[in-house]
Amino acid sequence: MPPAKAHRYLVSFIRGGFVDRDLLSGRYRLGARAIELGASALDAIDPYDLSTEAMIELHDELDHTIVLSVWGTRGPVIVRVEEADQLITVSFRLGKSLPLLRTASGLLFTAFLPSPIVGPLIEAELRQDRESLGSKLIRSRNEVQRLLQEVRSRKIARITGDITPGIDAIAVPIFDYRNYPATVITAVGPSGSFDISWNGPVANALRRKCAEIASKLGKRRGTRGE
């Protein structure tokens, strides 16, 4: 297709919300409406159905905001949110892409997806953070690897005000048959009233739901499930 013709198509897709353009690189990527369509298609996939049920139950049990994310073209993407009664100053727009290293869901996807997929994205995020955030907030490559190894060991991740000061989050992955994260369930709350300890009530509730989903997926597939 001639570049001029491709450009006209892309402009139309941008207007419709199906394509976004990266302001830094100038490259195109799927937009929010495309993500929403993809999220609708996920209704037919077991891990997504089970994760949706689990996040609603966790919301009712914990009264914290619960966020469900899946892997998009360049990182985690929010596909569903159950808001807590207690308002918090964080935007959870459906279709919003999340950083790899500064969100709990991003850390889990980055830790468990294949290196050829996440490696270039990690490097790009580190470069972008170095330019926009300043060196004091940037982890070295060795620090990133140590952090990801800890996430792999625990199979749970947390952040403390990494994106929004005063807002913490803790998350667990729901693995597919390849042992890659199909979804990530994240609990979010304000610092001080939100327990992010590794063995606290929030973490234990997330682990319990993760184990329940793994058991159901294992029974359906005739495998152990993790």
pLDDT at 226: 42
In this structure, are residues 138 and 129 in contact, taking their beta carbons and an 8 Å threshold?
A: yes
Asked whether residue 5 is assigned to any structural domain, the reply reads: no
Helix axes 201-221, 46-62, angle to 10 degrees: 150
CA distance 134 to 120: 20
Residue at 150 is within a domain: yes
Split into its structural domains, the chain has a count of: 1
- Is residue 70 domain-resident? yes
Q: Burial, 209: exposed, middle or buried (Cβ in 10 Å; 0-12, 13-18, 19+)?
A: buried
Task: Write the CA distances from 188 to 13, 60, 130, 205, integer angstroms.
Answer: 33, 14, 26, 13
**What is the total residue count of the chain?**
226
**CATH classification of the domain holding 84:** 3.30.450.40
Say if 87 falls within a structural domain. yes
Q: Residue 32: inside a domain, yes or no?
A: no
Look at residue 223 in the predicted model and tell me its pLDDT: 45
Residue 111 to residue 158: CA distance in whole angstroms? 13
Whether 99 maps to a domain, the answer reads yes
Rg of the chain's alpha carbons, rounded to an integer?
18
CA dist 111 → 121, 136, 161, 217 (Å): 12, 23, 20, 21
Asked whether 70 and 183 are in contact (CB, 8 A), the reply is yes
- The answer as to whether 123 is a domain residue is yes
Residue 62: domain span? 44-221
- The segments of the chain whose pLDDT lies below 50 read 135, 221-226
In a domain, 180, yes or no: yes
